[in-house]
Amino acid sequence: MRASLQWSDRRVEDVIGNLLRAGVLLSAVVVLSGGVIYLVRHGHDRADYRVFRGEPTDLRDIRGILHEAASLHGRGIIQLGLLLLIATPIARVAFSVFGFAAERDWLYVGFTLLVLMILLYSLIGSS
Amino acid sequence: MNVLVFTLLVWLGSFAAGFLGSLTGLGGGVVLVPLLTLVFKVDIRYAIGASLVSVIATSSGAAAAYVKEGFSNIRIGMFLEIATTVGALVGAFLAVKVPTAAIAIIFGLVLLYSASLSARTQPVIPENDRPDPLATRLRMNGTYPSADGPKNYYVHNVPTGFSLMFGAGVLSGLLGIGSGAVKVLAMDQAMRIPFKVSTTTSNFMIGVTAAASAGVYLNRGYIDPGLAMPVMLGVLAGSLLGTRVLVKAKTRSLRLVFSLVIVLLGLEMIYKGIVGGI
């Protein structure tokens, strides 16, 4: 019992490690590609972040960002990469639900679902 | 300054912040916001947005390595994340109501606090340590790899740790930082978790905490892609390099040096908040 528990803990940790690595790598590649397009087109503009204006609505929610990225706008692609980055820990939490369920640790399945709901509310429900 | 030069300089600064943040376990975010606001004259709301996403990158990038080495404790992390994510949501909603000058002052105080914390010595765990009933029920006790094979440890004071973690979450959502200092305090001092375990578990939790407030910040238009791009890429590269060094390095002297930098930045944030420079 004890040995099988440790084995599956170890496995869950391995998969989580790989998931985090893949998510961060993918988002970094997307952000970098968007960044190159952005710098080629706007590299000689003046950089000014002194005054806060807030982002346009197209760069604020999932639907707008997907649309901007599909139009190959540099800023839209960067924002898509950042969205993937925000989704990475959420995916990690979602996977942990299965990990704990496989171990029949229902207490931790409950805890993890609670965290997952809070995260989804922030990303989707808070606008 | 044009966008190209600005991007390169911000990348370099973020790289350094990520490297030091990951080595000391305090997170890159703690110096990023002061760096962006004080040196690059970025509005603090944009700085917080960029810092938040980079905090996710640092944490997830580093956590991927730590999880495989067997230092981080996923159960402790997941349980405490209930407190940090609720706190992060509260903090993100508070951020709209609180004036930026007040945010700068709170930020300065958190920086001073982080610095004072890194100057403290690690608590010594007594040899005849007894398990705590609540921690045992929550299956938080574990082992970590050491030179003489796996070492057992017991977790203590779960309610205190949980409350401190709520506070860490609020600060994270309000200031766009990982709140590594408060998390490490909760785990090192209150829950008496071994140093390497608390540092890496804190890193593991920071990404989830930051994701909870990042959604709110994104929806509110605080995350600017042009700024977040060099910040995120720089911090990520720096923190990955820092992770490779952590397992071997003696962190104590480095934490002291880094804490000096943090003190200076903290004082300046408080000063600017009071005289109205932010």
Q: Which amino acid, residue B24?
A: T
**Inter-chain touch B208–A45, beta carbons under 8 Å:** no
Which pLDDT does position A98 carry in this prediction?
Answer: 87
Which pLDDT does position B251 carry in this prediction?
Answer: 63
pTM, 2 dp = 0.88
**Of B60, B74, B222, which has the smallest distance from its Cβ to A13's Cβ?**
B74
Report how far residue A118's alpha carbon sits from residue A24's, in angstroms, rounded to the nearest whole number. Answer: 21
Report how far residue B139's alpha carbon sits from residue B74's, in angstroms, rounded to the nearest whole number. Answer: 11
CA distances B27 to A13, B104, B174, B262, Å, are 22, 18, 16, 12
Measured between CA atoms, the residue of chain A closest to residue B142 is A6
Diameter of chain A by CA atoms?
64
Which of B5, B79, B84, B85 would best serve as a mutation to test chain A binding (most A beta carbons within 10 A)? B85
Which pLDDT does position A1 carry in this prediction?
Answer: 41
Which residue ranges of chain A lie beneath pLDDT 70? 1-10, 126-127
Q: Are B109 and B171 in contact (CB under 8 A)?
A: no
Question: Residue B60 is encoded by which pair of tokens?
Answer: 């997830």
**Inter-chain touch B81–A28, beta carbons under 8 Å:** no
* DSSP SS3 for B250: coil
Which residue ranges of chain B lie beneath pLDDT 50? none
Instruction: Please state, rounded to an integer, the average pLDDT across all residues of chain A.
Output: 88
Q: Are B245 and B23 in contact (CB under 8 A)?
A: yes
Which pLDDT does position B115 carry in this prediction?
Answer: 81
pLDDT digits (tens, 9 = 90+) for A13-44: 788 888 888 999 999 999 999 999 999 999 99
Which pLDDT does position A3 carry in this prediction?
Answer: 44
Distance (Å) from the alpha carbon of A4 to chain B's nearest alpha carbon: 15
